[in-house]
């Protein structure tokens, strides 16, 4: 989380120092880093303790969200250098959702 906080500060300052287009891009990246920092803080505040990774692994809604966002990024960057990255993220989200559903299934009545 220190890295995200540092990114917010550095990119935020760069937004004011760098010229036109680069400064705007830096400001937008600072906003994304701030959003990710807030999300990380919420996750670690809502799921405290040593079992955080296990709780997140058993969350089908979070895995589904990763799959949906990954697929949108995959489709929006088709035939770009990052297509394989987003395909891997989408596949990981689908696998995560499946594992989470498997781990949280109800035993037979």
**pLDDT of the residue at 55:** 83
Q: Does residue 66 share a domain with residue 30?
A: no
Q: Does residue 18 share a domain with residue 55?
A: no
Q: Does residue 106 share a domain with residue 58?
A: yes
Q: Does residue 23 share a domain with residue 66?
A: no
**pLDDT of the residue at 108:** 63
**pLDDT of the residue at 93:** 94
Which comes out higher in pLDDT, residue 108 or 75? 75
How confident is the model over 17-73, as pLDDT tens digits?
988 888 888 888 888 889 888 888 887 777 777 877 788 888 899 899 999 999 998
Of 48, 49, 47, 43, which is closest to residue 66 (Cα–Cα)?
43
How confident is the model over 81-104, as pLDDT tens digits?
889 999 999 999 999 999 999 988
Q: What is the dihedral of CA 95, 97, 99, 103, to 10 degrees?
A: 180
**pLDDT of the residue at 60:** 92
Which comes out higher in pLDDT, residue 6 or 46? 6
Number of domains in the chain: 2
**pLDDT of the residue at 38:** 87
Q: Does residue 30 share a domain with residue 74?
A: no
Q: Does residue 107 share a domain with residue 54?
A: yes
Q: Does residue 99 share a domain with residue 62?
A: yes
Task: Answer for the pair 20, 35: CB distance below 8 angstroms, yes or no.
Answer: no
Q: Does residue 62 share a domain with residue 103?
A: yes
Q: Which domain holds residue 7?
A: 1-46
Task: Answer for the pair 58, 91: CB distance below 8 angstroms, yes or no.
Answer: no
Q: Measured in whole angstroms, how far is the alpha carbon of residue 12 from the centre of its chain?
A: 20
- pTM assigned to the model: 0.60
The 10 Å Cβ neighbour count of residue 88 is: 12
Q: Does residue 58 share a domain with residue 35?
A: no
């Amino acid at each position: 989380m220190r890295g995200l906080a540092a990114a917010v500060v550095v990119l935020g300052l760069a937004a004011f120092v760098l010229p036109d287009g680069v400064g705007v891009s830096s400001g937008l990246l600072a906003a994304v880093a701030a959003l990710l920092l807030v999300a990380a803080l919420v996750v670690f505040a809502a799921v405290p303790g040593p079992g955080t990774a296990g709780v997140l692994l058993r969350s089908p809604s979070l895995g589904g969200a990763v799959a949906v966002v990954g697929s949108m990024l995959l489709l929006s960057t088709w035939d770009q250098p990052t297509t394989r990255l987003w395909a891997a993220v989408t596949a990981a989200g689908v696998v995560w959702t499946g594992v989470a559903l498997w781990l949280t299934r109800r035993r037979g009545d």
